[in-house]
Amino acid sequence: MTRPVPRLAPLLALILLVAGCDDPMVDQAKYEAYEKAELFPDGKTNQPPVPGTIARGQLDYFATLRQRPPLTRALVERGRERFDIFCVPCHGRTGDGDGMIVRRGFPSPPSYHTERLRNAPTEHFVQVVTNGYGVMYSYADRVPPADRWAIAAYIRALQLSQDFPVARLSDEARSRLEEAR
Amino acid sequence: MAQIFPPVADTCVKLAGIAVAVLVVGGLMVAGGAVRSDWLTRVGVAPDQPVPFSHKHHAGELGIDCRYCHDDVERSASAGFPPTKTCMTCHSQLWTNAEALAPVRSSFTTGEPLAWNRVHDLPDYVYFNHSIHVAHGVGCVECHGRIDRMNRVAKVHALYMSWCLDCHRDPAPHLRPPERVFDLDWQPPADARALGSELVARFGIEPANLDSCYVCHR
């Protein structure tokens, strides 16, 4: 007569050994950002807040959006950094609208160096970053309000760089310009 | 003559045999370095992805900044994984009929996220924070390698604890000026340690405390 239990014992031992390889400390019973979540019906760890939720700091967010910050060198430098990340792919380094993505076939955005955009209020650029414009998507989820003002300030600097009377340049800047010519 | 061994002895012998085999094979793997091999740590092995996205094309050839898509990296523990909308910022106009992008368009219309496979996945008992690293001069390249040269992303480091500690105990040679953190081309000066020591002081980094357990395990 065979004895089923002792014959299966080595197999059982092997299963237990293999199970030991799965370390419960490595994959704990918690969700990390972007992990698939079995708990929620849509399977996402990152759940949207309940509709109507006001997040902590959200009132400041909207206040910053309405309130134009003072123009400082730091603001313009921050604006240049953010412009180079988010705007340059299409608008180009100088804002002519000939960025790398445009050269690959994306519809060309208008140059900043036109009468219409020189006369546009600074708020206009903040609005475009916030809401998008034409085929340009909104960047509201990637660029926080303070940075939108910084980008707008830098666009003003870019406009000035392409539209400044030579007579008003400092002597040093003018001689460097003459040399470059 | 009575039996010396009971029938269960057969099982004991087999179990002992398995145990010896596991010890011998395991011992050989540790001694031979197999447990640290790229085959087990997946270094250089790019997992399959739902869309053949190329960092070499986007970050390298087109020169798009890392933060255009990974926009949380400066303010959050996670670098931020781009939603499908970020892809569609350009691909609503470019390559709109490309077969390779069909899953992206489908994700955008249905709201069902693309299920990318993680390349760098730390154990759950490690608390890694991207923002503190990029704010204190640790470049993307330091851990991720030349992402801008990879068609499909693979790990370049095994992410061993000893590798983390090497830098936590002596960060100076691994640091770069803050404006160069996202510059994948940046090369350290001849005397990287001198620059690094200056940056350690400027950022207020305290290497003496950086290898405390609680820095990474909480």
In angstroms, rounded to a whole number, what is the distance separating the alpha carbons of residues A85 and A125? 16
A94 is in which domain, residue-wise? 77-163
In angstroms, rounded to a whole number, what is the distance separating the alpha carbons of residues A11 and B86? 51
Residue B80, token pair as written in the block: 């931020």
In angstroms, rounded to a whole number, what is the distance separating the alpha carbons of residues B194 and B120? 31
Residue B87, token pair as written in the block: 């892809």
Whichever domain contains A149, its CATH number is 1.10.760.10
Q: What is the pLDDT of residue A10?
A: 66
Chain A residues touching B8 at Cβ < 8 A: 6
Share of chain B above pLDDT 70, in %: 100
Query: Is residue A93 included in any domain, yes or no?
Result: yes
- Where in chain B are the domains? 9-41, 55-81+118-216, 83-115
The pLDDT-based confidence of B96 (bands split at 50, 70, 90) is very high
CB pairs under 8 A between A and B: 73
Write out pLDDT tens, residues B142-183.
Answer: 999 999 999 999 999 999 999 999 999 999 999 999 999 999
Output b/e per residue, A80-95; b: 16+ Cβ within 10 A: bbbbbbbbbbbbbeeb
Q: Write down the ipTM of this complex.
A: 0.84
Residue B44, token pair as written in the block: 């250089």
- Of A117, A128, A118, A123, the closest CA to residue A149 belongs to A123
At position B54, the amino acid (one-letter code) is S
Q: How many domains does chain A have?
A: 1
Residue A113, token pair as written in the block: 């160096």
Query: Is residue A171 included in any domain, yes or no?
Result: no
Query: Is residue A36 included in any domain, yes or no?
Result: no
Write out pLDDT tens, residues B186-202.
Answer: 999 998 899 999 999 99
Distance of CA A91 to the CA centre of its chain: 15
How many Å lie between the alpha carbon of A91 and the closest alpha carbon of chain B? Answer: 13
* Cβ atoms A78, A147 nearer than 8 A: yes
Q: What is the dihedral of CA B124, B127, B130, B136, to 10 degrees?
A: -150
User: Considering only residues 133 to 162 of chain B, which have any Cβ-Cβ distance to chain A shorter than 8 Å?
Assistant: none
Q: What is the pLDDT of residue A23?
A: 78
User: Considering only residues 51 to 90 of chain B, which have any Cβ-Cβ distance to chain A shorter than 8 Å?
Assistant: 62-65, 67-68, 71, 77-78, 81, 83, 85-86, 88-90
Residue A9, token pair as written in the block: 């014992």
At position A8, the amino acid (one-letter code) is L
The helix or strand, by DSSP H or E, that contains position A77, with its residue range, turns out to be helix A73-86
* Cβ atoms B84, B104 nearer than 8 A: yes
Query: Is residue A159 included in any domain, yes or no?
Result: yes
In angstroms, rounded to a whole number, what is the distance separating the alpha carbons of residues B46 and B154? 4
Backbone angles phi, psi at A43, to 5 degrees: 75, 10
| Positive or negative torsion for Cα A124, A125, A127, A133 | positive
Query: Does the CB of B127 have a partner CB in chain A at under 8 Å?
Result: no
Write out pLDDT tens, residues A118-177.
Answer: 999 999 999 999 999 999 999 999 999 999 999 999 999 999 999 888 888 889 988 998
Q: Taking phi first (over 0 means left), then psi (-120 to 50 degrees means alpha), and beta for anything else, what does residue B128 get? A: beta
SS3 content of chain A, % helix, strand, coil (to 5): 50, 0, 45
In angstroms, rounded to a whole number, what is the distance separating the alpha carbons of residues A102 and A96? 11
Give the one of B18, B89, B124 whose C-beta lies nearest to A13's C-beta.
Answer: B18
Query: Is residue A4 included in any domain, yes or no?
Result: no
* 3-state per-residue secondary structure call for A82-107: HHHHHCHHHHCCCCCCCCHHHHCCCC
Ranking A35-49, A92-106, A119-133, B59-73 by mean pLDDT, the lowest is A35-49
What are the residues facing A175 on neighbouring strands? none
In this complex, do B78 and A9 lie within 8 Å of one another by their Cβ atoms?
no
